[in-house]
Chains A and B, each alone.
Chain A
């Protein structure tokens, strides 16, 4: 690996983890779309910032952009609180307007500015190693690594300090408020961090990847976690995985790095959604299927039990007869019987079915449950 390659992966990794931390709380608050809104709306902040300070390279731009992020959050809340518009629709109303004002301002007054729409949407990670931080004649590596490293430290610090408060305000804002923890202040602090992260990452990876990295890894981790600490760690891990795998995917296919990372994020989520042990679709499907068979075996046991030691037992307890009595078609009845036999709740005796002691227990249990 060459140095630029390592540097690109480092930047991507740091961006991914920095996004996963606030992203976890966005996802838990069901506000994932907020990352979309903020990462687009900050364009307006950047443009207005450039008009004020006259350069693209000033820390003031980050402040201006972060303020636009907060403005977005406030506007969404204001529209939402009128009670006329749901939150997702409010988000959809606010950010295209702010983003478009930014685009119009660029087109009208800053045609020569280095801010083209491609870079806004997808960024260009490949260029990250070219923009270097130098001081005292020394090369300190890519500038993005330092900016994003700073953001990562800030996010981690905020989470470490206010972990308990964020958890409570996310899970139960009512209790948080009644205990004096000011969930609204926490909400805006979180939105401020999301804005800061988005605007800092924007330059390196573009807004689409910011959204992908804030929502994708936490959502993936959510499917695998029973504990919040675990979900945060897993989010960060998935973020790193997506970043590195995305980089090498792009390398192999010779395509956009940010694009491949976003695609990888989607693919990894899809795989986990299918295969997660508890909440995955396959696990759910198997659970439903197992329940279906268990239920069928129970029905069979109850049916046999009901006719046990009765004169009509000989007739009722035949496989062919189940069709009529339990509304099962022939092949299905045969398979249920097979399962019941293999579980040891039913025995076959020359074409007749008999309950074993175990089967009687199954029937008994099912009967007392209802």
Chain B
């Protein structure tokens, strides 16, 4: 269902920890049905941006609109895949149960998932090729498999707009390919996907649009317009090793060692 409203509009968003801005006056629009990548050095505020949009962090100022509504009103249309490292994989539970968590929002308070929900979760695991691991304790899964479970959990949410924090981080090349194909499938179903991405080299291949972020919005728009050497230099503070390669404008694997880490611990 193509929406008249953009999937996401962020206006003047500022987030600060102890009076120090981690995100400064972000204006950003994501049209519906696009696949958008967020890139920027460590400490650029990528995770914080997602968390502020999702109401996990409280912004100091600014506005977030999702399909023209507030986040609380549009919550059912939003899916979230946090960074894999943000949870404790030694938690006593299995893959199916983690996927079921994606349905908790729909169930609301107190109601427990039943047979119908379990079936949906199974179907989602199948979609990411993890059906055989449904009752595997999650610590026994490899990094790539854990990432797939997280994606399956987002899939059962049947959202229109997905936020993913480094969904391709630390997975092998085959898994990366498979997961990326999944993102494309989502897009073909008219979903909008916003993903934090760490590998500049694959940005033009994977995404239609990109947000270059370093505390401020450096640039955003279609990849072919804004993913330029000039903009990247401004984002990474000139520390990017540029390597021109055929058409793909930029190549870099390591993000610049920058400021403080993204975590606040």
Tell me the chain A residues, 167-225 only, with Cβ under 8 Å from chain B: 167-168, 170-172, 174-175, 177-181, 222, 225
**B-chain residues with CB within 8 Å of residue A178 when the two chains form the complex:** 54-56, 75, 78, 80
Most chain B CB atoms below 10 A, which of A28, A163, A171, A179: A179
Which residue from chain A places its CB closest to the CB of B153 in the assembled complex?
A: A175
What separation, in Å, do the CA atoms of A165 and B107 have in the docked complex?
Answer: 11
One of A86, A163, A170, A175 near B91 (C-beta < 8 A) = A170
A26 to chain B, nearest CB (A): 14
The answer to the question of A139 belonging to the interface, with a C-beta cut-off of 8 Å to chain B, is no
Which residue from chain B places its CB closest to the CB of A179 in the assembled complex?
A: B105
What separation, in Å, do the CA atoms of A16 and B103 have in the docked complex?
Answer: 34
Q: Are B92 and A222 in contact (CB under 8 A)?
A: yes
**A-chain residues with CB within 8 Å of residue B94 when the two chains form the complex:** 226-227
Which residue from chain A places its CB closest to the CB of B87 in the assembled complex?
A: A172
Q: Are A165 and B109 in contact (CB under 8 A)?
A: yes
Q: Are A162 and B110 in contact (CB under 8 A)?
A: yes
Q: Are B93 and A228 in contact (CB under 8 A)?
A: yes
Q: Are A82 and B56 in contact (CB under 8 A)?
A: no
Q: How many chain B residues touch the partner (CB < 8 A)?
A: 33
Chain B positions 17 through 28: 1 when the CB is less than 8 Å from some CB of chain A, otherwise 0: 110000000000
**B-chain residues with CB within 8 Å of residue A168 when the two chains form the complex:** 101, 104
Which residue from chain B places its CB closest to the CB of A229 in the assembled complex?
A: B92
Known: A28-B91, A168-B104, A180-B72. A175 touches B113 (CB 8 A): no
Most chain B CB atoms below 10 A, which of A30, A163, A164: A164
Q: Are B86 and A172 in contact (CB under 8 A)?
A: yes
B167 to chain A, nearest CB (A): 14
**B-chain residues with CB within 8 Å of residue A179 when the two chains form the complex:** 75, 104-105
The answer to the question of A231 belonging to the interface, with a C-beta cut-off of 8 Å to chain B, is yes
What separation, in Å, do the CA atoms of A171 and B90 have in the docked complex?
Answer: 10
**B-chain residues with CB within 8 Å of residue A161 when the two chains form the complex:** 110
What separation, in Å, do the CA atoms of A175 and B164 have in the docked complex?
Answer: 11
**A-chain residues with CB within 8 Å of residue B51 when the two chains form the complex:** 174
Chain B positions 180 through 224: 1 when the CB is less than 8 Å from some CB of chain A, otherwise 0: 000000000000000000000000000000000000000000000
Chain A positions 138 through 181: 1 when the CB is less than 8 Å from some CB of chain B, otherwise 0: 00000000000000000000000111110110111011011111
Chain B positions 251 through 265: 1 when the CB is less than 8 Å from some CB of chain A, otherwise 0: 000000000000011
Q: Are B93 and A174 in contact (CB under 8 A)?
A: no
Known: A161-B110, A177-B56. A172 touches B92 (CB 8 A): no
Which residue from chain B places its CB closest to the CB of A24 in the assembled complex?
A: B92
Q: Are B105 and A180 in contact (CB under 8 A)?
A: yes
Tell me the chain A residues, 89-126 only, with Cβ under 8 Å from chain B: none
Most chain A CB atoms below 10 A, which of B54, B92, B98, B137: B92
Q: Are B104 and A172 in contact (CB under 8 A)?
A: no
A315 to chain B, nearest CB (A): 41
Q: Are A174 and B80 in contact (CB under 8 A)?
A: yes
Known: A82-B18, A226-B92. A174 touches B82 (CB 8 A): yes
Q: Are A231 and B112 in contact (CB under 8 A)?
A: no
Q: Are A171 and B54 in contact (CB under 8 A)?
A: no
Q: Are A175 and B101 in contact (CB under 8 A)?
A: yes
B70 to chain A, nearest CB (A): 12
The answer to the question of A230 belonging to the interface, with a C-beta cut-off of 8 Å to chain B, is yes
A164 to chain B, nearest CB (A): 6
**A-chain residues with CB within 8 Å of residue B153 when the two chains form the complex:** 175
Q: Are A171 and B93 in contact (CB under 8 A)?
A: yes
What separation, in Å, do the CA atoms of A30 and B92 have in the docked complex?
Answer: 13
Q: Are A172 and B82 in contact (CB under 8 A)?
A: yes
**B-chain residues with CB within 8 Å of residue A226 when the two chains form the complex:** 92-94, 137
**A-chain residues with CB within 8 Å of residue B111 when the two chains form the complex:** 164
Q: Are B92 and A230 in contact (CB under 8 A)?
A: yes
One of B86, B113, B265 near A174 (C-beta < 8 A) = B86
Tell me the chain B residues, 105-123 only, with Cβ under 8 Å from chain A: 105, 107, 109-113
B199 to chain A, nearest CB (A): 23
**A-chain residues with CB within 8 Å of residue B109 when the two chains form the complex:** 162, 165, 181
Most chain A CB atoms below 10 A, which of B56, B107, B113: B56
The answer to the question of A83 belonging to the interface, with a C-beta cut-off of 8 Å to chain B, is yes
The answer to the question of B230 belonging to the interface, with a C-beta cut-off of 8 Å to chain A, is no
The answer to the question of B88 belonging to the interface, with a C-beta cut-off of 8 Å to chain A, is yes
Known: A179-B105, A230-B92, A231-B92. A171 touches B18 (CB 8 A): no
**A-chain residues with CB within 8 Å of residue B104 when the two chains form the complex:** 164-165, 168, 179, 181
A265 to chain B, nearest CB (A): 20
Which residue from chain B places its CB closest to the CB of A162 in the assembled complex?
A: B110
What separation, in Å, do the CA atoms of A181 and B75 have in the docked complex?
Answer: 12
A73 to chain B, nearest CB (A): 19
Q: Are A164 and B112 in contact (CB under 8 A)?
A: yes
**A-chain residues with CB within 8 Å of residue B18 when the two chains form the complex:** 82-83
B103 to chain A, nearest CB (A): 10
What separation, in Å, do the CA atoms of A180 and B106 have in the docked complex?
Answer: 10
Q: Are A164 and B91 in contact (CB under 8 A)?
A: no
**A-chain residues with CB within 8 Å of residue B55 when the two chains form the complex:** 177-178
Known: A179-B75, A180-B72, A222-B92. A171 touches B56 (CB 8 A): no
B59 to chain A, nearest CB (A): 14
**B-chain residues with CB within 8 Å of residue A181 when the two chains form the complex:** 104-105, 109
A-B contact pairs, 17 of them (CB 8 A): A83-B264, A163-B112, A164-B104, A164-B107, A164-B111, A165-B109, A167-B93, A171-B93, A174-B51, A175-B80, A175-B82, A175-B101, A181-B105, A181-B109, A227-B94, A228-B93, A231-B92
The 3 lowest CB-CB distance pairs between A and B, nearest first, are A179-B105, A178-B54, A226-B137
